[in-house]
Amino acid sequence: MKDIVIRTVCRVIVPFVQVYGLYVIFHGHLSPGGGFAGGAILGSSMVLFALSFHLEAGAQKLGHETSSYLESGGGIWYILIGLLGLALGSNFLTNRAAGLGFGLPGQLFSGGMIFLLSLGIGVKVASTMFTLFYNLSEEEGSGGDHQ
């Protein structure tokens, strides 16, 4: 698509959408939303970029291999953070009983490791949305490796 209006509006609007997605992810324990909704917003912003510019331009910003690494890394990150509670002498995903620092209620760093977990979920969901869009919209021959 070569329309200059769509490209300019997209170039202005995409950073704000991404900042809003990160806001929803990091405030998952304080306000509505969380890892899934914020990750969907992040993935939508990347798909918006790829739609308004070109599919190859979007693939240059976030390649398929990087996307699959991010997707797997989100799950591994979640498990590693969960094992942190095990390493501190409690059960899997234990938060307060493991002695993690809690700030004042209502502040950003007041949930122990919950915002780290939300970050993992958000990265995984965003890369999943991006990969889903590319698998649907790419041409048959140029998709690269066929398993």
Helix (H, G, I), strand (E, B) or coil at 59: helix
- Rounded to an integer, what distance in angstroms lies between the CA atom of residue 18 and that of residue 115? 17
- Rounded to an integer, what distance in angstroms lies between the CA atom of residue 39 and that of residue 60? 20
- Rounded to an integer, what distance in angstroms lies between the CA atom of residue 129 and that of residue 51? 13
Sketch the per residue contact string, 39 through 58, with other proteins: x for CB under 8 A, - otherwise.
-xx-xx--x---x-------
The residue from 34, 58, 74, 85 that contacts other proteins (CB under 8 A) is: 34
Query: Which helix H or strand E contains 27, and what residues bound it?
Result: none
The one-letter amino acid code at 96 reads R
The residue from 5, 12, 32, 106 that contacts other proteins (CB under 8 A) is: 32
Sketch the per residue contact string, 126 through 145, with other proteins: x for CB under 8 A, - otherwise.
---x--xx--xx--------
Residue 67 touches other proteins, criterion: CB under 8 A: no
Using CB under 8 A, list all residues that contact other proteins: 24, 32-34, 36-37, 40-41, 43-44, 47, 51, 129, 132-133, 136-137
